[in-house]
Amino acid sequence: AQKVTQAQTEISVVEKEDVTLDCVYETRDTTYYLFWYKQPPSGELVFLIRRNSFDEQNEISGRYSWNFQKSTSSFNFTITASQVVDSAVYFCALSERGAETSGARLTFGEGTQLTVNP
Amino acid sequence: KAGVTQTPRYLIKTRGQQVTLSCSPISGHRSVSWYQQTPGQGLQFLFEYFSETQRNKGNFPGRFSGRQFSNSRSEMNVSTLELGDSALYLCASSLEYGEGDTEAFFGQGTRLTVV
């Protein structure tokens, strides 16, 4: 069975600090996909990034970057120069490829509440 | 382009009643999935529909059901409501029934309170 763990329940930083959100996953599949979603107080989950298991290249997109390491089953997400508007709950999610699953079946972590103070 | 629309946004129901929630996916998206979010259990997959057929089901009792119409709109129904069904119910739409990498777009959810 697949599992996603976000050990950090809450993180509080001051604006302009960099912050890294940790995510560890478990899966028996060799092909899988990892996601980060953001949930602001309004409730909807906002897609941030996606990575597949074949691509360990880490990238930077604006203030966001991620570090995918298959050897440690981790998919960490970093926000550089945080802003107050980044305050939200962040979820890491995993999707497996297989006959019975689709891209919309996501296993989520518990979420990390990020608060960015001015 | 309109996003995923869920109605109603808020609902209060009495234990034992039933409830129907509605989800309109993004235009052109054919896959709709539902999730339940509670403080204790987090985000849990309920089911997914594609081409009016349930393709995938999470570990929920039979009181939770759904359907999808020919225009891809979806409804989920919960019968014999229990206090523990109080949750935020999120709907997500995807372009196709994919192979794991399909991006899912979420609605704002329906907040159900059972009293």
Contact A42 B108 (CB under 8 A): yes
| CB distance A9 to A91 below 8 Å | no
Give the model confidence (pLDDT) of B70-113 as tens digits: 999 999 999 999 999 999 999 999 887 665 566 789 999 999 99
Chain B CB contacts of A107 below 8 Å = 45
Chain A CB contacts of B88 below 8 Å = 43
Q: Distance between CA atoms of B56 and B69, rounded to whole angstroms? A: 16
Contact A104 B31 (CB under 8 A): yes
Contact A52 B101 (CB under 8 A): yes
Nearest to B100 among A47, A95, A111 (CB): A95
Contact A103 B102 (CB under 8 A): yes
Chain B CB contacts of A101 below 8 Å = 56, 100
Give B48's strand partners.
Answer: B33, B56
Q: Show the tokens assigned to A54.
A: 């074949």
| Nearest one of B29, B12, B32 to B74, comparing CA atoms | B32
Residue B1 has pLDDT above 70, yes or no: no
**DSSP-based three-state secondary structure for A36:** strand
Query: What integer is the mean pLDDT of B62-68?
Result: 97
Residue A59 has pLDDT above 60, yes or no: yes
User: What per-residue confidence (pLDDT) applies to A99?
Assistant: 46
Identify the closest residue of chain B to A95 by CA–CA distance.
B100
Contact A103 B98 (CB under 8 A): yes
Give the model confidence (pLDDT) of B8-52 as tens digits: 999 999 999 999 999 999 999 888 999 999 998 999 999 999 889
Query: What integer is the mean pLDDT of A48-59?
Result: 80
| Nearest one of B17, B26, B15, B18 to B84, comparing CA atoms | B15
A36 Cβ contact partners less than 8 Å away, ≥ 6 residues apart: A21, A23, A48, A49, A66, A75, A77, A90, A91, A92, A93
Is A96 near chain B, with CB under 8 Å?
A: yes
